[in-house]
Chain A
Amino acid sequence: MSYIPHTDAERQQMLSAIGVPTIEDLFEAVPAAHRFPALDLPTGVSEMEILAEMNALAEANDHASDFAIFRGAGAYHHFTPSVVNHMMLRGEFYTAYTPYQPEMSQGTLQAVFEYQSMICALTGMDAANASHYDGATSLAEAVTVALDVSRRKRSKVILSPYIHPQYRAVTRTYHQWGDTHFIGDEGPATVDDLIAMLDDNTAMLAIAYPNFLGQIEDFTRLAEAVHNAGALLCVVANPMALALFKSPGELGADIVVGEGQPLGIPLSYGGPYVGFFAIREEYVRKIAGRIVGETVDEEGRRAYVMTLRPREQDIKRDKASSNICTNQGLMALAATVYLAVMGKQGLRKAAELCYHNAHYAADQIAALPGYMVDRSRPFFNEFAVKCSRPVSEINEKLILRGIIGGYDLGKDYLYHTDTMLVCVTEMNRKAEIDAFVDVLKEAGQ
């Protein structure tokens, strides 16, 4: 198989125009000793054969089309209206480049502007960028902004232990040099514990909303304490939860980041997803990544263009605060189409379904012997369940019955052994929840 269209005759005409006898003659500048190495790769195959091979690989996975799934922990199986995928498959969107030439890219630019507006609506922030790689790198980039806002005079960052463990890991990877240091997530810190860590060297404090255990907490008091210390408050939010609960902006956040995957993006084994990043207006010139703004063309027509460009790497080079160039544009488009078609009512309804299904599941599990549901705070669509035996053993029983069980919190938290983080969405109808509870009941005995 090949997508190279050249015929022998065309190749000959082109080589004559260039003035060389063979294509190989175009590579004389490559060191001869290393030129044209053998490639130990299989021979190419036809589309038919590839499809068969890919089907076999795909079906060797336990996936959510075949299994009921009660696992979330940062990636969620939600319903996506058909229209989202159809718009994603428009070649005019997915085979376009970054909109550096605005006259030929108004489609992408206006869609990004609408995405930014919807992210502002959800988060209660004044401005959003066109995306980061995922929720984790959005948090890492928020740290950079906070350090820069403090003019690099502050170097301490406080992280709640109930931010996604992998987000905290990525943030540490990004800031592994210099005097930036992270505290707060060594043990099960409460809001009061986090407040006690604030000082005049603190650049930023970050919490999750809902937290990794699925719990929702009003953080107004924490926001006041953070601001009194002269630091920024960053909130890692689940956008589906924001359909129901007060926006982080209303509660006093300065930066809101998170994973946009719940908004119409498939699980896809962890990516591509979309990291959203929103901020209060006063800091917008400090942020990384592409930003689209409204303007007019020569004839006064409303139009959109990438703006505040001098922040970016291609212009500022070694003075840029981030090297980001390629982002997750197409996934931001998916989120935009999803939020448009769900709309004000639909998103709220989907979030309510998540909430009611999850609370029904929690009630049923709480009634089983050998399980303790953590109801210390209100939760959205995830909750922690203390089990009387290892989570891995329970999950083994579940998978045999066609159910992917919850996430084993003991993998990340020494103080949450034998604890399952159960996720329930609008995709888990009552019959499925009842079947899940039945297996838990058997497994708990």
Chain B
Amino acid sequence: MLRQAPEPLIYEIGVAGRTGAMLPTPDVPMSELPTELMRADLDLPEVSELQVVRHFVNLSQQNYAIDKGFYPLGSCTMKYNPKINEDTARLPGFAHLHPLTDDEGSQGALALMHQLQVWLAEISGFKGVSLQPAAGAQGEFAGILMIRKYHQMRGDTKRTKILVPNSAHGTNPATVTMAGLTAVELPSDENGNVDLAAVRAACDETVAGMMITVPSTLGLFDNHIVEAIAAVHECGGLMYMDGANMNSLMGIVKPGELGFDVMHYNLHKTFSTPHGGGGPGCGAVGVNEKLVDFLPGPIVVERETADDAPFYALEMPKDSIGRLKAFHGNFGMHVRAYTYIRTYGGEGLRDVSRHAVLNANYIRVRLADVYHVPYNRICAHEFVLEGHFDGVESVHALDISKRLMDYGFHPPTNYFPLIVREALLIEPTETEDKATLDSFIDAMRAIAKEAHDSPELLTSAPHVTPVRRLDEVRAAKQLVLCCIPIPDWDEAREKAAAPSGD
């Protein structure tokens, strides 16, 4: 992570005529190429294989990652990604399986998906699961489309509102709009819970449902949750649980038993599939009996056979909201999550959530005397503190984050949830040991002291990263999104169409 020479762009290190590819010569007769359809040029790099390796290794070394150090990024669950998961996902029988293989030829993959559906349903107390959604946001989209269709099929077309607490992830209100409904924002109460009186006041015959994160985005178990669910159900709405914080619930409580009708899982958070620098993920959705026929499909079902051997098949649920992706979801993530659940087993997963919560509470109590912790009570797998200090106006949460980089840590989540001033959301996960937590606590305490003694250390941070703070305004104003010249095709066509000779 230490500063190194800037890595040139891959386009800047090539030489015309060089290639890193080794391909066979054709052993079939050559066919004529349709010249009038062929392109004149293709502007790709011209580099050797070694240049490619060095380039991407050098780039990788300018990244921070879980494999390098502690990554307490709240709401993202940056836990260790077990190496065995990468091996199982790359087994040839999975990696080289074509998605349009007949069911008979993909029984191994279908058995795995079916088992994962069953396990996820059991963990959350649901009736059915679809593994189609590619990410949490797509799982949310599936959930709200299902709620919408449920009401429509009952002829209940005036339900157009989804209640969303003001502490919600941005994906929640964005999802509601994307599904053609209207998000109604609800306030939080002084304990950081959803304001129950506001929920009850908002509940009427126009409410399609409510989206809520459990435990809340503040990392708190909301003790009104059962009442909130009851209020929404009484007015005829359905309850959606954002499962981003599922890492504190496994074997602790089943959302389906609490009364939720639908939720999404983030296999890339709770079930250890890697974040990949932004993706891919898997946002599987679980539902109770009310919504099971609406699941996005296809899902995997077990069919009766004559000889008692199970047969698995892809099937579209009866009233499905439809397909969300081509093929069957991010199958490679299903393999990793299956491997993870098989590793831990039921009691092991309960232990995961127990220790995720233990780690978060340990950091909270060890920082509460030097930082303002707005909801300083027993938390779930994460907690929020305020990144500012009385009498030090120049220091903001962002400065604490940037200074943490100098100490070798990835910062917590900044400025989320929106309802906390200068929020820093800290989620350690269960895979970090006490010594790591202690060194992070020491760094946070040292930074709090620096904020009072020499605040410029924070406001000018980071100092040792490959680059320092960036000019983000320039990036947005003088857009440079591509490093090669793209011809003005309109002009080229006009020129070609113009009469020759001028």
Check if B278 sits within 8 Å of A26, measured CB to CB: no
Partner of B468, one of A26, A74, A103, A124: A103
Is B370 at the interface (CB under 8 A from chain A)? no
Q: Which of B71-79, B196-204, B231-239, B444-452 contacts A (4 or more CB under 8 A)?
A: B71-79
Chain B contact residues (Cβ within 8 angstroms of A): what range? 35 or more
Complex interface bits, A165-178 against B, C-beta within 8 A gives 1, otherwise 0: 01101101110111
Task: Report how far A293 CA is from B474 CA in the complex, Å.
Answer: 9
Check if B326 sits within 8 Å of A378, measured CB to CB: no
Partner of B481, one of A37, A89, A128, A298: A128
Residue of B nearest to A324 (CB): B137
Size of the chain A interface, CB-CB below 8 angstroms:
208
Check if A23 sits within 8 Å of B354, measured CB to CB: yes
The 3 tightest CB contacts between A and B, nearest first, are A346-B21, A270-B327, A58-B93
Complex interface bits, A342-386 against B, C-beta within 8 A gives 1, otherwise 0: 111111111011011101100100000000000000100000000
Task: Report how far A316 CA is from B178 CA in the complex, Å.
Answer: 13
Check if B145 sits within 8 Å of A39, measured CB to CB: no
Check if B378 sits within 8 Å of A128, measured CB to CB: no
Which residues of B468-502 are within 8 A (CB) of A?
468-472, 474-476, 479-484, 486-487, 489, 492-493
Task: Report how far A28 CA is from B268 CA in the complex, Å.
Answer: 28
Is B38 at the interface (CB under 8 A from chain A)? yes
Residue of B nearest to A106 (CB): B62
Check if A295 sits within 8 Å of B472, measured CB to CB: yes
Is A156 at the interface (CB under 8 A from chain B)? no
Check if B221 sits within 8 Å of A29, measured CB to CB: yes
Is A146 at the interface (CB under 8 A from chain B)? no
What's the nearest-Cβ distance from chain A to residue B203, in Å? Answer: 19
Task: Report how far A277 CA is from B263 CA in the complex, Å.
Answer: 29
What's the nearest-Cβ distance from chain B to residue A354, in Å? Answer: 10
Please judge, given known A-B contacts A61-B93, A295-B474, A344-B46, whether A324 and B135 are in contact too, CB under 8 Å.
yes
Partner of B349, one of A39, A54, A111, A360: A39
Partner of B9, one of A110, A170, A356: A110
Contacts of B28 in A (CB 8 A): 356-357, 360, 430, 433
What's the nearest-Cβ distance from chain B to residue A57, in Å? Answer: 4
Check if A75 sits within 8 Å of B469, measured CB to CB: no
Is A199 at the interface (CB under 8 A from chain B)? no
Task: Report how far A35 CA is from B257 CA in the complex, Å.
Answer: 10
Please judge, given known A-B contacts A36-B251, A99-B278, A284-B479, whether A246 and B98 are in contact too, CB under 8 Å.
no
Is A268 at the interface (CB under 8 A from chain B)? yes
Is A307 at the interface (CB under 8 A from chain B)? yes
What's the nearest-Cβ distance from chain A to residue B321, in Å? Answer: 6
27 CB contacts below 8 A, A to B, read A1-B344, A6-B358, A29-B378, A30-B253, A66-B92, A83-B20, A87-B52, A92-B68, A99-B278, A101-B401, A104-B410, A106-B62, A121-B44, A137-B134, A169-B322, A250-B39, A259-B326, A270-B325, A271-B327, A271-B329, A318-B177, A326-B136, A330-B277, A341-B21, A343-B19, A345-B21, A429-B24
Check if B343 sits within 8 Å of A39, measured CB to CB: no
Check if A303 sits within 8 Å of B470, measured CB to CB: yes
Partner of A301, one of B221, B361, B405, B467: B467
Task: Report how far A182 CA is from B317 CA in the complex, Å.
Answer: 23
What's the nearest-Cβ distance from chain B to residue A80, in Å? Answer: 10
Please judge, given known A-B contacts A3-B82, A269-B327, A317-B173, whether A64 and B97 are in contact too, CB under 8 Å.
yes
Q: Which of A10-18, A186-194, A200-208 contacts B (4 or more CB under 8 A)?
A: A10-18
What's the nearest-Cβ distance from chain A to residue B404, in Å? Answer: 10
Check if B101 sits within 8 Å of A79, measured CB to CB: no
Q: Which of B83-91, B284-292, B388-396 contacts A (4 or more CB under 8 A)?
A: B83-91
Task: Report how far A122 CA is from B58 CA in the complex, Å.
Answer: 25
Check if B56 sits within 8 Å of A111, measured CB to CB: yes
Contacts of B169 in A (CB 8 A): 314
Partner of B278, one of A40, A54, A98: A98
Contacts of B226 in A (CB 8 A): 31
Is B60 at the interface (CB under 8 A from chain A)? yes
Which residues of A189-242 are within 8 A (CB) of B?
216, 218, 220, 242
Check if B331 sits within 8 Å of A268, measured CB to CB: yes
Check if A349 sits within 8 Å of B96, measured CB to CB: no
Is A272 at the interface (CB under 8 A from chain B)? yes
Task: Report how far A434 CA is from B140 CA in the complex, Å.
Answer: 49
Contacts of A53 in B (CB 8 A): 342
What's the nearest-Cβ distance from chain B to residue A309, in Å? Answer: 8
Contacts of A269 in B (CB 8 A): 94, 97-99, 101, 106, 109, 327-328, 331
Check if A3 sits within 8 Å of B23, measured CB to CB: no
Complex interface bits, A232-276 against B, C-beta within 8 A gives 1, otherwise 0: 000000000011111101101000000100000011111110000
What's the nearest-Cβ distance from chain A to residue B110, in Å? Answer: 9
Task: Report how far A100 CA is from B93 CA in the complex, Å.
Answer: 36
Please judge, given known A-B contacts A176-B145, A301-B467, whether A356 and B482 are in contact too, CB under 8 Å.
no
Please judge, given known A-B contacts A270-B99, A353-B24, whether A128 and B434 are in contact too, CB under 8 Å.
no
Check if A41 sits within 8 Å of B332, measured CB to CB: no
Check if A328 sits within 8 Å of B279, measured CB to CB: yes
Residue of A nearest to B410 (CB): A104
Residue of B nearest to A44 (CB): B345
Check if A272 sits within 8 Å of B378, measured CB to CB: no
Check if B98 sits within 8 Å of A77, measured CB to CB: yes
Check if B138 sits within 8 Å of A103, measured CB to CB: no
Check if B47 sits within 8 Å of A297, measured CB to CB: no
Contacts of A271 in B (CB 8 A): 99, 134, 280, 325, 327-333
Residue of A nearest to B185 (CB): A318
Is B153 at the interface (CB under 8 A from chain A)? no
Residue of A nearest to B162 (CB): A318
Partner of A98, one of B275, B352, B401: B275
Check if B434 sits within 8 Å of A13, measured CB to CB: yes
Is A415 at the interface (CB under 8 A from chain B)? no
Residue of A nearest to B180 (CB): A177
Check if B106 sits within 8 Å of A83, measured CB to CB: no
Contacts of B189 in A (CB 8 A): none
Is A418 at the interface (CB under 8 A from chain B)? no
What's the nearest-Cβ distance from chain B to residue A415, in Å? Answer: 20
Is B301 at the interface (CB under 8 A from chain A)? no
Contacts of A90 in B (CB 8 A): 56-57, 60
Complex interface bits, B102-120 against A, C-beta within 8 A gives 1, otherwise 0: 1001111101100000010
Check if A29 sits within 8 Å of B475, measured CB to CB: no
Please judge, given known A-B contacts A18-B365, A50-B342, whether A97 and B275 are in contact too, CB under 8 Å.
yes
